[in-house]
């Protein structure tokens, strides 16, 4: 399986950004572990703080499934939602924290309605769970 992981704004700061919410581990160190867990599957990883990059990656993706943590764009970007709706590759929405247990602005996701499913609140393990959902179909 070919899986594309796209992380949105501020996720490049994992490990140092609000460790009480997001943990103290960088995504790069977790990615190495994830690749070991998913040995035999191809994992492509991208991160950007720019909405247009995320849209381009969604539209140009060559993968069996996409794991998307759109960060704060989850709650604000109709453009990312439209990009997801325009492709046939299944997209799994992921969040490290439980967004429903956070500030009210984080309770609404503009991308959930166009994603195959959502996994939130399991820390970095949310990515592994999303990969399993893609692999198992």
Which positions are annotated as active-site residues? 22, 95
Using CB atoms within 10 Å of the CB of residue 93, give its burial: 0 to 12 exposed, 13 to 18 middle, 19+ buried.
buried
Q: Give the span between the Cα atoms of 27 and 14, in whole angstroms.
A: 6
Q: Give the span between the Cα atoms of 16 and 73, in whole angstroms.
A: 20
Give yes or no for a contact between 8 and 69, defined as CB atoms under 8 angstroms apart. yes
Q: Which residues pair with 5 in a beta bridge?
A: 45, 67
């Amino acid at each position: 399986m070919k899986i594309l992981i796209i992380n949105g704004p501020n996720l490049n700061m994992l490990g140092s950004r609000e460790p009480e919410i997001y943990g103290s581990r960088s995504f790069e160190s977790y990615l190495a572990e994830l690749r070991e867990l998913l040995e035999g599957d191809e994992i492509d990883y991208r991160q950007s703080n720019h909405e247009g990059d995320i849209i381009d990656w969604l539209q140009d993706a060559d993968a069996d499934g996409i794991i998307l943590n759109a960060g704060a764009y989850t709650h604000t970007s109709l453009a990312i939602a439209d990009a997801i709706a325009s492709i046939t590759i299944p997209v799994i929405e992921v969040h490290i924290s439980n967004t429903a247990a956070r500030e009210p602005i984080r309770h609404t996701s503009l991308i959930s309605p166009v994603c195959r499913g959502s996994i939130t609140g399991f820390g970095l393990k949310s990515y592994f769970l999303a990969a399993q959902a893609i692999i198992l179909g």
